[in-house]
Structure 1
């Protein structure tokens, strides 16, 4: 999907910050005031939804993952293959979560505002899509004004509110409806623990569309995720509280830890060998006591040893199985037996490894190991 990028603030050469819009808004109307502050530290560019602002209207369905891929393609086409910080509101925030899953190597961090891993319901999105296709986007202006802004904002900031509502009225009806349908299909609640980039989530205390309490709970499922609730803000935080949002984003992206390629390589191998489900469970159980240990084994065991070229992964599995039998670490043996199958060992070869262990480690240990192996191999 080809998306449009808009230059918002700051000079090239500064760290790149890509910002994303909410449904019904142009990225300029939503982000211009916050970008004026962010431009002091970042090169701020925004992307447009299809048929919104300067975005080209579309007729074919797409997904949130397609939008995320389109953001990366637009950055590559315009700025080159740079890494960038990302911040998005509502559907723009959903795209940020998708980017964190699909393109973590491109992100320095993701800030997601007034959004969720699942927004609304299938029925509500399809009903809205049908209404807009029939009557155009002006049909949802009144509803959006009530949901977008906290009490008093329209009176305090009529110019900003008018620009946002005008961008809604001007949006292409079919493109708007297709975004609704993309949101109807979006649900990554079960994948939040797999996010490996720093995440900051901002929720509005008056946000009925994506309640702060739900976003807080979802952020807790993201390893290292941080949540901040914004008082007096509803659904369009960058427009409602531009200075506060800019300050929080600046602090987050300036302080975000540098990328650790060894840790990233280790996590990739760890997932490939042990499986996503096993690693996700380990991450979910991580707390203050075990966090440093999880970082240690990912970086050193998986990132520094398992990535070495001297042995194939199947050979490393043979060494690991033997060592675990010798150390009588039978709980670890269970999931490393599954890993050995993943790494290409056959059932017959696993039996041979355990027989070899019986000779050089001891029959009692091998006897228990064979019991564990029988359960694992019976799984099919």
Structure 2
């Protein structure tokens, strides 16, 4: 069997900087999937992507396995003169990253693996998809991919990004796509995760259907040195859906120096207002904005910039975690009005009533029974209203 030769997609970067190799998802090209992430990292590292056989710039190849692709990635690293490198990959690109880390532990400095698994899907499911593509071409995959790839609402919010990815899929060689499906059908390194020595950051999309968060958590807990992050509002193509958050997480895992933000305060304010609306709801934010006076206008702008644009947008914690921390702090300080507002926000961020109950139970021990008693009273009123249709804020 001939190992495929993978096309290198060189995004540039300092010649003496660390090398980061980027692996694609099935049906995508490195340029389309990783372009915005590469733009955010290229001033601090040399960024090189690769395309699957029959995808993007790579020519079709004979039948291949994930192990063959790992050998091909190492050959690509040799071609660009990278004795060691950092690796980041999405979906099948993440699977290849696991295989590379197993096969060449001395060459992989860190691995950032997202929307993937030590085994993905089922062998029968992959073989059925391969058979469908061989019989009907790539069109059925193009039709079904928006639901499989993206978090709800992403296509409407970012039609250009979605269209570019789907157009790339439509030009993928069907036989190469089918071969990649068959490679995934035979891939399972779950029993070998403990052998991986490189630090691994496993990034999940909260709304990822093909590889849900527990798939990434299994990697993070299975390797000796693993961390786990969940990105809210993200499906299966995290590099395209949340490029800023993904770039920041890769940079942190690799250990790149921070880059000065080019955002203006107006940019931070707009980002903060978007997050504020997502967390608290349009109705609540509209009421707050309409109630703004000359006296409170500067304060409203400050909390939007610093709390929502500066803290809630940081990639290191998902919104569920931030909600839990915020609720605990508000109980401890006795800020009852803010606590009521953030109970509602916690539900919007995915916390269940039972999880909120457990959080308050925990605070009874560490913050005090009277504080927890007040929190339960407030939460009961808010959650009753929320569950009876008052969740819009």
Alignment-derived partner of residue 73 in structure 2: 71
Alignment-derived partner of residue 29 in structure 1: 32
TM-score scaled by length of structure 1: 0.65
1:38 aligns with 2:41: yes
- Compute the displacement of 1:144 (Å): 1.2
* Native 8 Å contact 1:9 1:38 kept in 2: no
Structure 2, unpaired ranges of 5+: 258-393
Structure 2 distance, partners of 1:45, 1:208, is: 28
Alignment-derived partner of residue 138 in structure 1: 139
Counterparts of 1:1-380 in structure 2, within 5 Å, are 1=3, 2-58=5-61, 60-77=62-79, 79-254=80-255
* Native 8 Å contact 2:126 2:181 kept in 1: yes
**3-state DSSP of counterpart to 1:105:** coil
Structure 1, unpaired ranges of 5+: 257-380
* Native 8 Å contact 2:19 2:82 kept in 1: no
CA distances 1:24-50 after superposition (whole Å, capped 9, x unpaired): 001111000111101121110000000
- Compute the displacement of 1:214 (Å): 2.4
- Compute the displacement of 1:255 (Å): 6.8
4+ residue segments displaced more than 3 Å = none
Structure 2 distance, partners of 1:80, 1:126, is: 37
Structure 1 distance, partners of 2:256, 2:164, is: 33
* Native 8 Å contact 1:30 1:164 kept in 2: yes
Pick the structure with greater CA Rg.
1
- Compute the displacement of 1:197 (Å): 0.9
Structure 1 distance, partners of 2:170, 2:132, is: 14
Structure 1 distance, partners of 2:57, 2:14, is: 21
* Native 8 Å contact 1:119 1:210 kept in 2: yes
Structure 2 distance, partners of 1:241, 1:214, is: 19
* Native 8 Å contact 1:9 1:36 kept in 2: no
Structure 2 distance, partners of 1:65, 1:95, is: 7
TM-score scaled by length of structure 2: 0.63
- Compute the displacement of 1:138 (Å): 1.5
Alignment-derived partner of residue 330 in structure 1: none
Backbone CA RMSD of aligned residues: 1.3
CA distances 1:71-109 after superposition (whole Å, capped 9, x unpaired): 0101212x1242110000000000011111001111111
* Native 8 Å contact 2:115 2:205 kept in 1: yes
Aligned residues: 254
Structure 2 distance, partners of 1:20, 1:217, is: 20
**3-state DSSP of counterpart to 1:92:** helix
* Native 8 Å contact 2:84 2:109 kept in 1: yes
CA distances 1:252-288 after superposition (whole Å, capped 9, x unpaired): 10179xxxxxxxxxxxxxxxxxxxxxxxxxxxxxxxx
